[in-house]
Amino acid sequence: MIPEALAGRRIALTGATGFLGTALTEKLLRSIPECELVLLVRPGRRGATERIRRDVLRNDAFDRLRATLGNDGFRTETTQRLRAVAADVSADGLGLDAEGRDLLAGCDVVIHAAAAVAFDNPFDLAVETNLLGPIRLVELLGELGTTPHLVSVSTAYVAGNRRGFAPEELLSESHFAVAMDWRAEAASVRRSRDSIEDDSRSPERLEEFSAEADAELGAAGTAALSAKREQIRQRWVRTRLVEVGRARSASLGFPDSYGLTKALAEAALTETRGAVPLTIVRPSIIESAVAEPFPGWIRGFRMAEPIIISYARGLLQDFPGIPEGTLDVIPVDMVAAAVCAVAADGPAADGRPNVVQVASGAVNPFRFADLHDWSHAWFCEHPIYDERNQPISPPRWSYPSRKRVQTQLDRARRTLLAGEKILSALPVRGEKAGRAAEFAEKRALVERALSYVELYSGYVECQATFGVDRLLALHESLTPDDQQNFGFDPRRIDWHRYVTEIHLPSVIAQGRLKTAPAVRAGADRDTRRRQQVLSPQRHMAAFDLENTLVASNVVASWGWLATKRMPVADRARLVASTLAEAPKLLDLDRHDRSDFLRYFYRRFAGAPVDQLADDAMEMFSDLLLRQSFPAAIRRVRHHRALGHRTVLITGALDFVIAPFAPLFDDIVCASLTRTRSGAAYTGQLANVPPTGESRAEALLDYAAREEISLANSVAYADSTSDLPMLEAVGFPVAVNPETKLATLARRRGWLIENFRRAPGGPRKLLPLAQPVVRR
């Protein structure tokens, strides 16, 4: 009897926060009432015990046990039987403290289920976790001088891209095994990491990253651009390391670095385990539970789910694979039960490492075409709804070659990218700019589909059959009660029922897909975001001026003021010379806004202070208000009415925006120094104009001085040069955004407001003051 065999035993478990780990913890707690558990987890910020409480015990897997024991009973049970130990498989000695070491030393069984399971992990992370992790574990056991039964969870795919039968034997015993030196691989990956890191810092690369950051953000200021460049660099390093892993795995005949590192780990464990008795359990693709703790239980997204969801959304119009090929899936509760049985059974009597495969393909094959056909039928009956509340019709796959699917997707990706580039080069704003953002989103979806095809098609094309003789023998050896409570015979799975009644409903629920047209009762997303922005709890609303409140700019204001008292004859010359200079001005502006302002404001040298103040008042009515966004002005007033502090932060000059003063509690703007007499301006800036990052700094200073919470504040702006300001607050709003900001705002879920210009306002490039006609 399994419960008796493990009664009174202390069992250590790594990877408890993972899918299989959670299932194992639950199974051991519920079905083996007299064992004690030591969970080795990364402590996170809150410590190991709290992490277990939050990330493991709160999972719905434990609902069943909690229901049986009651809340108090459950708490008592877990407090008495569970010990959480802070551990890290990537640290020597697993980073255990003295108490942890004592606890581990007293264990009878150690189940190692921690792994980096993503198929697209950077190679170094896969090696550190999957290969060196278990080695550190056995080294620690050796150091502690204990020899518990080590049950190491591996994967059936250590067999690689092999066709045909893969029995339950050590890789070294296989005919197909390629001799691999795990030490050399580990050493090499570390060198690769170093060299890629070095490469990423070379001037050429940094220049590439810089260009990419510029293209994405524009003149967003040094801080934002630096952060972006560094982010791009790190992403580049990661991508390179993923590529290294993929290439190395492919060269050794593995679909990805997960299979390879697990295979290396098996070899390494066998070699370094010393006196520690070892059983290797190799599950195939672990999916949702068929029965325990309840049918359909799943934690996180596994291999098939992203594909199923992309399929249901109509994103994967086709998928490569062999329709009659086997998809080797095994429900998680069977794996957990098998691990328990293995632990209870104890190590092999001869001291040799034992291998048990938990897979279905050899005895109850699940055809890839069946999955598709059943899913198709199921989604036809239970369609997913798109954002327009239309049911999505699931596509029919024709199983073309992988290359063809990749070519198709790649073509789509390139078309979208071209459209995106064209749109972002056009001077469009607001809704039109949103179109570019839609392109970017569609491209991201296509890229994701492409990555699924690259990542997963290896698995669906796999034609290996994993032997399960030992598994079945183990199952045979169980008592009828154990077979009832710890069943793991894959022959008992009814795949059609599993797919249509258990797995798909569970995946849909987990993925929070829209299974019915949205009822119009609730507010839509924009309305909800607007409500958040206009919540009375906000402290401050900061506004940019140009293209946020008014569709005007410093050049237009200057043109108006310069022509206010100019004879009609001279106006044409002024317009011509300004337009001729436009490309230079635009370039300067794109590069650095404050340089542009500094250069441009020189034009005000010698301008009389009083006259400009009078004229600015007229310009307010004749130009600024007529080019304003009335809805934006309403918004400022709305914030004020809610008791928020309203602040205008702009690179425009103080006398230009003075008439806006009653709208705002405070104004942060540029100003010019005056001549000694004070009657005229010098054309030189008196302060650093608040643009780009200095705008964010001005905002930070202001908030600090006034004791305002920026996290609770709102900022309105129109361009990526305002990004630092938008990022500084908790509730950024993109107003009539240009393409780059529109894309960013959509991606980040910011509120986008497309305010309409007041009707009938001037639309000329350089609007001039109206000459007074005397008759």
Partner 1 sequence: MNPRTASPTPRPGFVLEVERSTPPILFHHGEGFRLERLPAGRSRVIYPPSPLEGLPDPAGAIRHALEHPLDSEPLPALLRPGMKLTIAFDDISLPLPPMQRPDVRQQVIETVLDMAAAAGVDDVHLIAALALHRRMTESELRHAVGDRVYDAFAPSRRLYNHDAEDPDGMVVLGVTDHGEEVQMSRRAAESDLVVYVNINIVAMDGGWKSTATGLSGYQGLRHHHNVATMLKSRSFMDQRKSELHHSNWRQGAVLRDSGPRIFQIETTINNNSFGTSGSLSMLQKREWEWTARDRATFLAMQGGLQVMSPAARRRAFQSWRAPYAITSVQAGEVEAVHKVTTENVYRQQLVAVEGQTDVLTMGLPYICPYNVNSIMNPILVMCLGLGYFFNLYRGRPLVRPGGVVIMTHPTPWEFHPVHHPSYIDFFEQVLADTTDPAEIEARYEVQYATDEWYRHLYRTSYAYHGVHPFYMWYWGAHALSYLGRVIVVGGDRAAVRRMGFAPASSLSDALEIAGDVVGSHPSITHLHLPPFVMADVS
Residue ranges binding partner 1 (CB under 8 A): 617, 620-622, 625-626, 628, 630, 633-634, 637, 659, 662-663, 758-761, 770, 772-775
3-state DSSP call for residue 559?
helix
Shortest approach of partner 1 to residue 629 CB, angstroms? 9
Shortest approach of partner 1 to residue 561 CB, angstroms? 16
In the complex with partner 1, the residue whose CB is nearer, 375 or 646, is 646
At residue 466, φ and ψ (nearest 5 deg) are -90, 120
Shortest approach of partner 1 to residue 653 CB, angstroms? 18
CA distance linking residue 697 with residue 549, whole number of Å: 21
Shortest approach of partner 1 to residue 754 CB, angstroms? 16
The secondary structure element, H or E, covering residue 705 is helix 692-706
In the complex with partner 1, the residue whose CB is nearer, 446 or 636, is 636
Shortest approach of partner 1 to residue 636 CB, angstroms? 9
In the complex with partner 1, the residue whose CB is nearer, 609 or 663, is 663
Beta bridge partners of residue 608, listed in sequence order: 680
In the complex with partner 1, the residue whose CB is nearer, 227 or 663, is 663
In the complex with partner 1, the residue whose CB is nearer, 536 or 662, is 662
At residue 116, φ and ψ (nearest 5 deg) are -95, 100
Shortest approach of partner 1 to residue 373 CB, angstroms? 50
In the complex with partner 1, the residue whose CB is nearer, 356 or 619, is 619
In the complex with partner 1, the residue whose CB is nearer, 284 or 628, is 628
**Residue 139: which of 89, 85, 71 has the closest Cα?**
89
In the complex with partner 1, the residue whose CB is nearer, 144 or 663, is 663
In the complex with partner 1, the residue whose CB is nearer, 318 or 666, is 666
Shortest approach of partner 1 to residue 763 CB, angstroms? 9
Token pair in block for residue 265 = 């780990």
DSSP for residue 97: -
Shortest approach of partner 1 to residue 435 CB, angstroms? 24
- Burial profile 210-249: b = 16 or more Cβ within 10 angstroms, e = fewer: bebbbebbbbbbebbbebbbeebbeebbbebbbebbbebb
In the complex with partner 1, the residue whose CB is nearer, 549 or 685, is 549
- Across the beta sheet with 645-653, the strand order is 666-670, 645-653, 540-543, 714-717, 731-735, 751-753
CA distance linking residue 690 with residue 688, whole number of Å: 6
In the complex with partner 1, the residue whose CB is nearer, 222 or 531, is 531
- Burial profile 31-52: b = 16 or more Cβ within 10 angstroms, e = fewer: bbeebbbbbbbbbeeeebbebb
- CB 147 within 8 Å of CB 346: no
CA distance linking residue 714 with residue 735, whole number of Å: 12
- CB 225 within 8 Å of CB 214: yes
Shortest approach of partner 1 to residue 655 CB, angstroms? 14
Shortest approach of partner 1 to residue 662 CB, angstroms? 4
In the complex with partner 1, the residue whose CB is nearer, 594 or 627, is 627
Beta bridge partners of residue 153, listed in sequence order: 281
Shortest approach of partner 1 to residue 761 CB, angstroms? 7
Beta bridge partners of residue 110, listed in sequence order: 12, 150
Helices 568-591 and 593-601 meet at what angle, rounded to 10? Answer: 150
- CB 148 within 8 Å of CB 49: no
Shortest approach of partner 1 to residue 543 CB, angstroms? 14
Beta bridge partners of residue 563, listed in sequence order: none
- Cα–Cα distances (Å) from 153 to 108, 147, 162, 462, in that order, read 17, 18, 21, 21
- CB 256 within 8 Å of CB 731: no
